[in-house]
Amino acid sequence: MSSRVGCVLAILPMRGGSERVPRKNLVDLAGRPLYAWILDTVLSLDGVIPVVDTDADEIEEAVSASHPDVRVVRRPHHLGVGTTPMNDVLANTLAREPDGETILQVHATNPFVSADSLSHAIRSVELEVNTDSSFSVTRLQARLWTENLEPVNHDPSILLRTQDLEPLLIENSSFYVFDRGTCLKSGTRIGNEPAAIEISPVESIDIDNEGDLRFARVVAEGLTARSAS
């Protein structure tokens, strides 16, 4: 394994409990456990060292078996409930892992994020002078309304084409890159001068329920078949 000195520390949090998809992080996705998709992508990046954070014996055992060189950090039980803020989880992991000033956070439930997108996000923070963090977004150009049927981003009396509307950016939570010190001081992953990294619709697929999982399996089978051809 590469030296941890001067590395980018990648944190992959995986909670054992999952209400809508039982054992979600461990389910099979085209012949691999779900977590292995993003973990293998992170491992393909130069100078990036992944750490899995979990509260579950089953997850620790699975990661240790499939990726024996990847360190697993156990979080306290009180940080393993579904309502725990992610910032609290990150603070615990960072206290346990002192190396790496630049932090990348990813999720097992976003299996199709590309290495190129992660590299772009890291470079934007490490190389651009006026950028202190970055996060993934999805571009949205559509006519939006509130529940009270008030237009959000358009004038109904002026029927602009959707491609002419001012685009909105959805924070899709696929990944975040930030500075360790800033995160610990402010308690947030997004700093005062962030960069938004736009990713493709496939990369932004998030597995939250059984329907998402069925869709992801179709995508994964297609990607696997294409890479094998």
Percent of the chain whose predicted confidence (pLDDT) is above 70: 97
In this prediction, residue 6 carries a pLDDT of 58
Does some domain include residue 156?
Answer: no
Q: Taking 50 as the threshold, does the pLDDT of residue 195 lie above it?
A: yes
The domain in which residue 196 lies consists of 8-137+171-228
3-class state of residue 62 by DSSP: helix
CB of 90 closer than 8 Å to CB of 11: yes
Residue 5 has pLDDT above 50, yes or no: no
What is the model's pLDDT at position 212? 97
CATH of the domain at 58: 3.90.550.10
Residue 163 lies in a domain: no
What is the mean predicted confidence (pLDDT) over 177-185?
Answer: 90
The tokens describing 138, both together, are 């999805």
The proportion of the chain whose per-residue pLDDT surpasses 90, expressed as a percent, equals 82
Q: How far apart are CA 35 and CA 98, in angstroms?
A: 24
Q: Is residue 148 domain-resident?
A: no
Residue 63 domain flag: yes
Whether the CB-CB separation of 26 and 60 falls below 8 Å is answered with: no
Give pLDDT tens digits for 38-83.
999 999 999 999 999 999 999 999 999 999 999 999 999 888 888 8
pLDDT at 13 over 90: yes
Domain count, the chain: 1
Mean pLDDT of the region 159-188: 92
Residue 142 domain-assigned?
no
pTM of the complete model: 0.91
Cα-Cα-Cα-Cα torsion 147, 149, 150, 155, nearest 10 degrees, comes to: 140
pLDDT digits (tens, 9 = 90+) for 84-135: 889 899 999 999 999 899 999 999 999 999 999 999 999 999 999 899 999 9
103: in domain: yes
As a whole number, the mean pLDDT across the chain is 93
Question: Is 147 within the bounds of a domain?
Answer: no
pLDDT band at 162 (very low <50, low <70, confident <90, very high): very high
Partners of 8 in beta bridges:
48, 102
Q: Answer yes or no: is 161 within a domain.
A: no
